[in-house]
Amino acid sequence: MKQLLFILLFGLSIFSFGQTNLVSNSGFDILSQCPYSSGQINFAPSWFQPIRQVSSSDLYNSCNGGGYSTPLNIVGHQIPYSDSGYSGIILYAPLFVSFKNYREYIEAYLISPLKKEYTYCVEFHVSLADTTNYAISSIGVHFSTDSLLIDSFPYLINVSPQIQNDSLTTISDKENWTKISGNFIAIGGERFLTIGNFFDDTQTIKNSTRVSNYPNNDYAYYYIDNVSVYACDSPLVEEPQDSTFIFIPNVFSPNQDGENDLWEVIANKVNSLNVKVFNRWGEQVYIFNSKNLQSDTSSTHSVTYNPAWDGYTPTGKPVPEGTYFYIVQYTLPSGETKVEKGNLTLIR
């Protein structure tokens, strides 16, 4: 029977300096419902798959008792690093000749945005599935201010990961969990974490772990568990508290699961703020105007506004899933007016 590799687990809890893990549901153990098929990573609140058409990012939990259970499931046998669940994705798949550079990813919405010039420690654990014929080294994490959503070919997310496994070391251990870790300095405002292979097939370092001559096994499939992100060092000079910045997310899921239920705009140190959201027919479904607040002091002071939309119209009706358009207008302390426009994805 396989044994978990507990090396450094206790050390992790000490090294974290008591900092909060910014990854909610880091072990994929909290469920909105029990997974019963492929591509159901969204059943683990705060997690979703950024490639939404062909991709199939999987969730496994002992509640299933079948092909998507733990420890035994359709791609192998592995005990969760902790508790009862983990995720699983394809990171390299030469067998999918119709989909060059086919990839699967998992993405999460962080509890709070990263702070500028803070150093963040990142780690997660992976294990190669039993039935896979390939092992790779190209496994990393990318942090972004907005979500990475792809609805069309190609299915490779072409960005540079801030955290990357040693490029010369392929991870071929199918018995134990292998830790991937690193740290980086945030630019500030990063709110999303994406795990996967960000290199194309020619740049992906791989080797064969052939367990079957069946061609449908020619892929690299990894279980993923125990994801953590925490501030492990702060800058010598704190970010000025009177600096002006605007944070506008581009995705939320108002399904009352307690995770990412609100679309929250953060406007720090501005004199006024006006937010409007429209559907694809141009109908206004949400509005916020700081001048309508009784405590508004925009004429003489700069303040912080944090309006939040719950996915309902002003008349109290839920809007359908889809793409919306926002206009955010704000006034700087200097009196200059700026306007930000963009798309917003609502997922239910």
Task: State mean pLDDT over 25-51.
Answer: 92
Query: Beta strands 337-346 and 251-252: pairing type?
Result: parallel
Residues 175 and 46 in one domain: yes
DSSP 167: T
The tens digit of pLDDT for each residue in 55-78 reads 789 999 999 989 999 999 999 999
Residues 21 and 42 in one domain: yes
136 found inside a domain: yes
| pLDDT at 243 exceeding the cut of 70 | no
**CA 116/CA 95 separation, integer angstroms:** 42
Largest CA distance in the chain: 73
17 found inside a domain: yes
Domain boundary among 212, 233, 254: 233
Residues 256 and 335 in one domain: yes
The rounded Cα 307 to chain-centroid distance in angstroms is 23
Instruction: Give the pLDDT band (50/70/90) at residue 3.
Output: very low
pLDDT, the chain, mean:
83
Burial 200-234 (b: 16+ CB within 10 A, else e): ebeebbbeebeeeeeeebbbbbbbbbbbbbbbeee
CATH number at residue 20: 2.60.120.260
Residues 272 and 302 in one domain: yes
Structural domain count of the chain: 2
Q: Which of 20-24, 80-84, 187-191 has the lowest mean pLDDT?
A: 20-24
The tens digit of pLDDT for each residue in 117-163 reads 899 999 999 999 999 999 999 999 999 998 888 766 667 888 889 99
**CA 170/CA 139 separation, integer angstroms:** 9
**CA 122/CA 80 separation, integer angstroms:** 19
What is the pLDDT, as a whole number, of residue 56?
Answer: 86
Q: Which residue has the higher pLDDT, 219 or 86?
A: 86
**CA 265/CA 245 separation, integer angstroms:** 11
239 found inside a domain: no
**Contact partners, residue 182, CB within 8 Å, separation at least 6:** 121, 122, 123, 162, 163, 164
Residues 260 and 184 in one domain: no
The rounded Cα 6 to chain-centroid distance in angstroms is 26
What is the pLDDT, as a whole number, of residue 280?
Answer: 84
What is the pLDDT, as a whole number, of residue 333?
Answer: 87
Q: Tokens 């141009």 appear where?
A: 282
Residues 257 and 229 in one domain: no
**Nearest residue to 263 via CA among 194, 177, 348:** 348
Residues 215 and 337 in one domain: no
What is the pLDDT, as a whole number, of residue 8?
Answer: 30
**CA 42/CA 88 separation, integer angstroms:** 12
Q: Which residue has the higher pLDDT, 283 or 10?
A: 283
Instruction: Give the pLDDT band (50/70/90) at residue 212.
Output: low
Q: Which of 17-21, 112-116, 178-182, 249-253 has the lowest mean pLDDT?
A: 17-21
34 found inside a domain: yes
Residues 224 and 255 in one domain: no
Domain boundary among 189, 206, 233: 233
Residues 225 and 293 in one domain: no
Domain boundary among 170, 204, 233: 233
| Backbone φ/ψ region at 244: left (φ over 0), alpha (ψ -120 to 50), beta | beta
pLDDT above 70: percentage of residues in the chain: 83
Q: Which of 85-89, 134-138, 156-160, 209-213 has the lowest mean pLDDT?
A: 209-213
**Which domain range does residue 128 map to?**
9-233
What is the pLDDT, as a whole number, of residue 105?
Answer: 94
2 found inside a domain: no
Q: Which residue has the higher pLDDT, 43 or 295?
A: 43
240 found inside a domain: no
Rg (CA), the chain: 22
Residues 266 and 176 in one domain: no
Q: Which of 141-150, 153-162, 177-186, 220-229 has the lowest mean pLDDT?
A: 153-162
What is the pLDDT, as a whole number, of residue 287?
Answer: 93
CATH number at residue 275: 2.60.40.4070
**Contact partners, residue 317, CB within 8 Å, separation at least 6:** none
Residues 161 and 50 in one domain: yes
Q: Any bridge partners for residue 268, and if so which?
A: 245
Q: Which residue has the higher pLDDT, 248 or 162?
A: 162
Residues 208 and 284 in one domain: no
Task: State mean pLDDT over 309-321.
Answer: 91
User: Does residue 15 sit in helix, strand or coil?
Assistant: helix
Edge-to-edge strands of the sheet including 266-270?
245-247, 266-270, 303-305
Q: Any bridge partners for residue 290, and if so which?
A: none
| Amino acid symbol at 40 | Q
| pLDDT at 337 exceeding the cut of 50 | yes
| Amino acid symbol at 269 | K
| Backbone φ/ψ region at 282: left (φ over 0), alpha (ψ -120 to 50), beta | left
Distances (CA, A) of 236 to 91, 116, 118, 157, 185: 38, 12, 9, 34, 13
71 found inside a domain: yes
The tens digit of pLDDT for each residue in 254-294 reads 887 777 788 888 888 888 999 999 998 889 999 999 887 64
3 found inside a domain: no
